[in-house]
Structure 1
Amino acid sequence: MTPIRFLQLDVFTRFAGGGNPLGVVLGAESWTDARMQRFARWANLVETTFVLPPSRSSASYRLRIFTPYKEIPFAGHPTIGSAHAVLETAFAEAQSGRLVQECLAGLLPIQVEGDGPARELFVAAPASKVLIDGAPARARLATVLSHLDLGPLGCAFVEGGRRWWLAEIADEAALRAWSPNHGAIGELARATDSLGLCVFARSQTEPAALAVRAFPAGVGIVEDPASGAANGLIAAFIAEREPNGPLASGYRVSQGREIGHDAEIGIRFGGDGSVQVGGQTQTVIDGWLRWPE
């Protein structure tokens, strides 16, 4: 059994233990889908990725992303973390400060800024659209949000690579102190074929402009310490509703503090209306794995 390279990373953080864990496997070109899924289930991380040679000449590498239960087309923290692993292991090199990831969501450009532990990587989030908003969205979330007061953007059901329910909460302290009904969020996720609920509040007390909490009950996760794709959808929602608002020039997100993490996620807006999500990644484990057929 030939050993192959395996890294475990912490994504969206300046220090190990502060972000969202990710497993990255390199050299699994001969593995079957079932073998990849079995390893992802054993690793039992939010996501495990497999870095493969690209099938398209314009791509730097190809990426497959697995939760412990299924393969998914795109997620933010696996994309940023895997790009970090590609650079750390010299699997591919950035060209003119850019990598191109090939995945089930298409070809995704990744901007590379800096080097080593302080390096920041940014990916363009998939285009998004609002499926439900206004009074119908508020009615659907009334039970789940219970006593929380909504902020100016209210709530919506959005899609962009993945589906999330979003809600702006009026008060950051109330958001951080909230003890949600996880059973109700799970029912909502299953009924609407979505990941679950992502809530956010504007911050007046720290450098991060937004505090975010994400509850992806649709994939069996109670609370996510850092959610790249969800933050991309929040950013697109904000840009659509407040194109000239105080967050229009980009901002930083604080997420995960309530579950012992302290992730930092950067949001940028392109002139074409695109959203870029990024941050730093730290390598925690760099070694070899042996996994049977």
Structure 2
Amino acid sequence: MDALRFLQLDVFCDQPGGGNPLGVVFGAHHWSAQAMQRFATWTNLVETTFVLPPSLDGASYRLRIFTPHREIAFAGHPSVGSACAVLHEGVAEARDGLLHQQCDAGVLPLRVSGTGREVVLAVQAPAAQVLRTGLDADPGLAGLLDGIRLGPLPPAFVEGGRRWWLAEFADEHALRGWHPDHAAIAALAHASDSLGLCVFARSDDPAFGLVVRAFPAGVGIVEDPASGAANGLIGAYLAQAEPEGPLASGYHVSQGREIGRDARMSVDIDGDGTIWVGGRSHVVVSGTLDWPSAVDA
């Protein structure tokens, strides 16, 4: 049996209980991918990560990210939460205000501001590209959004670390009260090899500029309480479509209230279009993990 460090965090929230849970394992350098997947399936968290020594120059650490079903190249909330765990455990220190995370999407910088319980981290989202736009971009999209009054931007299929369908609602209230066809979202996700559908609406609330809901049926999740990668793609889409718009330099996001959470994220957009998605994380559980890593079945 291996005695390893295990932390569980709540990511993208001002107070524990409002964000997206994450499990982080330290010391599993010798585990196989099958053993990591087996443990991630057992935790049944949206994602579980494994912090490993870096193998590329300039990286602070290496991260492998698993859903309960498969390994993924990148995700926002595991990146931000794992960076918080790395700082908590003293595995790496920020240099010039940055950590550098090695993952299957490359070496991605994370901005670090504040210290201790007040630390705020933001991950640089992978470069994004809009693959298709319009209600006719996929046969299943129009039916899924039938009856919804859409916002000024057309629905879009966007890729950048992850692939998501995005749709803007014209009204925040309609978005918060929407009851989507989850089977239709799953069919759309599997047909397009994407995570699923992420919908957003502009808000007049002074605390946040966008309200977001994400339905990653492609990885078996009904609704996500806080979606870093999806919010990065929304930011990239807004920056490309409305370079002079009111949200073009960044904004705050509210997500998760519809499922009993209250996640808060910041999306910062640099002048060159680089997207940073960030927020606070909280270590909720810190302890020792005993797990039979030799059993890969």
TM range (shorter): over 0.9
The alignment status of 1:52 with 2:52, answered yes or no, reads yes
Contact residue 9 and residue 285 of structure 2 kept, 8 A: yes
Contact residue 138 and residue 154 of structure 1 kept, 8 A: no
The alignment status of 1:71 with 2:85, answered yes or no, reads no
The farther-off stretch of 172-181 and 132-141 is 132-141
CA distance in 2, matches of 1:48, 1:238: 30
Q: Report how far residue 206 of structure 1 moved.
A: 4.2
What residue is the counterpart of 1:33 in the other structure? 33
The correspondence of residues 172-183 of structure 1 with structure 2, limited to 5 A, is: 172-183=172-183
CA distance in 1, matches of 2:81, 2:273: 24
CA distance in 1, matches of 2:248, 2:80: 23
The correspondence of residues 102-117 of structure 1 with structure 2, limited to 5 A, is: 102-117=102-117
Q: Report how far residue 137 of structure 1 moved.
A: 2.9
What residue is the counterpart of 1:87 in the other structure? 87
The correspondence of residues 16-31 of structure 1 with structure 2, limited to 5 A, is: 16-31=16-31
Contact residue 37 and residue 68 of structure 1 kept, 8 A: yes
Q: Structure 1 residues 50, 229: closer, same or farther in 2, change over 3 A?
A: same
CA distance in 1, matches of 2:227, 2:133: 22
Q: Structure 1 residues 206, 4: closer, same or farther in 2, change over 3 A?
A: same
The correspondence of residues 240-255 of structure 1 with structure 2, limited to 5 A, is: 240-255=240-255
Q: After superposition, give the CA deviation of every residue in 1:75-120 in whole Å (9 maximum; x if it has no partner).
A: 0000000000000000111111110000100000111000122211
Structure 1 residue ranges without an equivalent (≥5) = none
- Per the normalisation by structure 1, the TM-score is 0.98
What residue is the counterpart of 2:42 in the other structure? 42
What residue is the counterpart of 2:289 in the other structure? 289
Give the counterpart letter for 1:232 in structure 2.
Answer: G
Contact residue 80 and residue 121 of structure 2 kept, 8 A: yes
Q: Report how far residue 151 of structure 1 moved.
A: 0.1
Secondary structure class of the residue paired with 1:49:
strand
Secondary structure class of the residue paired with 1:290:
strand
CA distance in 1, matches of 2:40, 2:98: 28
CA distance in 1, matches of 2:212, 2:139: 22
Contact residue 45 and residue 67 of structure 1 kept, 8 A: yes
Contact residue 14 and residue 117 of structure 1 kept, 8 A: no
Q: After superposition, give the CA deviation of every residue in 1:146-200 in whole Å (9 maximum; x if it has no partner).
A: 2111100121111111110000000000000001110111111111111100000
Q: Report how far residue 129 of structure 1 moved.
A: 0.8
What residue is the counterpart of 2:223 in the other structure? 223
Contact residue 249 and residue 270 of structure 2 kept, 8 A: no
- Per the normalisation by structure 2, the TM-score is 0.97
Q: Report how far residue 141 of structure 1 moved.
A: 1.6
The farther-off stretch of 195-204 and 109-118 is 109-118
What residue is the counterpart of 1:186 in the other structure? 186
CA distance in 2, matches of 1:172, 1:231: 16
Contact residue 216 and residue 224 of structure 1 kept, 8 A: yes
Secondary structure class of the residue paired with 1:229:
helix
What residue is the counterpart of 2:266 in the other structure? 266
Contact residue 11 and residue 81 of structure 1 kept, 8 A: yes
| Displaced runs of 4 or more, over 4 A | none
Contact residue 22 and residue 78 of structure 1 kept, 8 A: yes
CA distance in 1, matches of 2:140, 2:266: 30
CA distance in 2, matches of 1:246, 1:270: 14
Secondary structure class of the residue paired with 1:183:
helix
Give the counterpart letter for 1:47 in structure 2.
Answer: E
Q: Report how far residue 272 of structure 1 moved.
A: 1.7
Secondary structure class of the residue paired with 2:123:
strand
CA distance in 2, matches of 1:17, 1:232: 23
